[in-house]
A and B are shown apart, each in its own frame.
Chain A
Amino acid sequence: MAGYDHIDSPKEVDYYVDDKGNYYKLHNGVDIINVTKQFETKDGMVQALNPVSLHIRDKEFVAILGTSGCGKSTLLRMIGGFDQPTTGSVMFHKKEIHRPSAYIGMVFQSYTLFPWLNVHDNIAFGLRQLKKHTPSEINDIVHEYTELVGLKGFEKKYPKNLSGGMKQRVAIARALATDPSVLLLDEPFGALDMQTREVMQELLLNVWQRSPKTIVMVTHDIDEAILLADRVVVMTSRPGNIKEIIDVNLERPRNWKIRNTEEFLKYRERCSELIRQESMKLIQTAS
């Protein structure tokens, strides 16, 4: 992990001890331990997340499904170090995450390309920050990822001249180029149309199957979750916690064709059922 030395490294520990003196054994990967989150608002405290515990293994693809407002983004932001848990802890490789860093990449739903940089420089941005590579190495890496996301020939274009799908492809390439240990995706394809979204899912699937890394993806799209993930975490409606974790035992490498297999449909039915229950709860509490 040399080269990330601008990130302060807290002590590595094998056990996490909470306020009550309970011990939790830590693993490699991401450990989410009894994490809750409250927000202070004008109308008082809002409980966004009830205690959530989850261990995300190294190089695992986890998708998080849940009704709107159940705390998916909140959970993801705490893994990214953008927000701190009110209680509990998020650990990565046995170290507490307390601020964002280049270990953990992120792609937001909203377009977050640097508008003053063209496609090439956007993808090169992180590499240039980290100063681990020579300029010619950076060029090679950028070319590789530009090609990977199918944007060859667009290197000199500014974000304003790109379609939504292209922007997200650049965002994914930019996040992958620095080779983060964990990649967080918060509804990265949520703003895209149906066709583009399916193309993007294929692309992400292929990228991940080529070189697996830990990915946590929040999505509303049940098919997307099942197609891509090793495990689908379904959350309850707000205040969210984990309702059920579904192991997706579909064979890899996968491609879009498995959408039509019987197994896939079974997973979809199960997820839909769980989400439906939560949506109904949401409607009933509202009325």
Chain B
Amino acid sequence: MESMAIVANKKRVNEEVNVIQESQKRKYLSDAFTPKGTIKSRSYITISVVSFLLIFLVWWYECNLGGVNSMFLPSVASTFESAKHMFLKENFLFDIWMSVQRVLLGFAISAVVGIPLGLLIGTYAPVAAFLEPLFSFFRYLPASAFIQLFILWIGIGESSKVAIIIVGSLAQIILMVATNVRNVSISLVEVSYTLGVTRGSVFWKVLLPKCMPDIVDTLRMVLGWAWTYIIVAEMVGASEGVGFMITQAGRQFMISKIFVGIITIGIIGLALDMMCMFFKKILFPWNED
């Protein structure tokens, strides 16, 4: 008799717990969807994995059950086969290494030249007047339009490929870094003057430290764009590289190889992005976002 009561009581408690959990779940969901709200990082990772899996599933379904011609869409299996073959037999890692090297070199040159120029433009109005319209003009020139010119001017060696990457990233870095500096609030500058900072040193003492994390963000974004220029860059007389491989495979309608190339580009891009985010977190623990 007594034990029956206990069981019944337990059941009631369980039900109550369920109700509470249920309402907490619902609260968590509605919290998650508040505009500009946040979610736990574990949830974030889970959801993002789901989105990749979903794409994968659609791809797999279309090839196997959707009846899409494998001329247009390679099957998941044949793409894996190609990948295996490329990495093991065709030394695809070397292609990747060459591409990464070209992009990083071009990007590094852009950054070394572009960051100081951007900082100057953002800090000094006359420099802005002199350089900003110029680079706003350059920014809209498509890198692919320079292929023939660079071949003519600097031949088909490594430097012309690097030059394409520079065309694709330099103006962006300059203009975005200039904006990063301008975004430093004027009251921060003014308050520093009342603390003994001079006009000559305000750049080093306030503007630069404040906008460092934003510059890293700019670099992260431009690096992403520079990386997408690899295809264009390797149209200039390359004989290796991910971009070269994709162009080559395209000519021979080897569609699964194109897929491997594209997916590789995406994965490396994502990796570069995550590296930058990681460095930003480590280098600027004070940063407000």
Contacts and interface: CB of A to CB of B under 8 A. Distances in A.
A68 interface: no
A82 to B, nearest CB: 6
A126 B209 CA distance: 16
B281 interface: no
Q: Chain A at the B interface: mostly helix, strand, loop or mixed?
A: loop
Nearest to B200: A6
Contacts of B44: none
A187 to B, nearest CB: 13
Interface stretch (A10-18, A106-114, A263-271): A106-114
A82 B194 CA distance: 10
Given A158-B286, A160-B288, A112 B187 contact: yes
Contacts of A6: 196, 198
B195 A126 contact: yes
A105 interface: yes
Contacts of B196: 4, 6, 101-102, 126, 129-130, 178
Interface residues on B, range: 20 to 34
Given A129-B205, A158-B286, A160-B286, A114 B194 contact: no
A175 interface: yes
Contact of B288 (A108, A115, A117): A115
B205 to A, nearest CB: 7
B210 A115 contact: yes
B61 to A, nearest CB: 46
A175 B187 CA distance: 14
A106 to B, nearest CB: 5
A102 B185 CA distance: 20
Contacts of B285: 158
A112 B210 CA distance: 12
B187 A100 contact: no
A100 B288 contact: no
Ranked 5 nearest A-B pairs via Cβ: A129-B196, A126-B195, A100-B193, A158-B286, A102-B196
22 contacts: A99-B193, A101-B193, A101-B196, A108-B187, A108-B190, A110-B185, A110-B187, A112-B187, A112-B191, A114-B206, A114-B209, A115-B210, A116-B210, A126-B194, A126-B195, A129-B195, A129-B196, A129-B205, A158-B285, A158-B286, A159-B288, A175-B195
Interface of B: 185, 187-188, 190-198, 205-206, 209-210, 212, 284-288
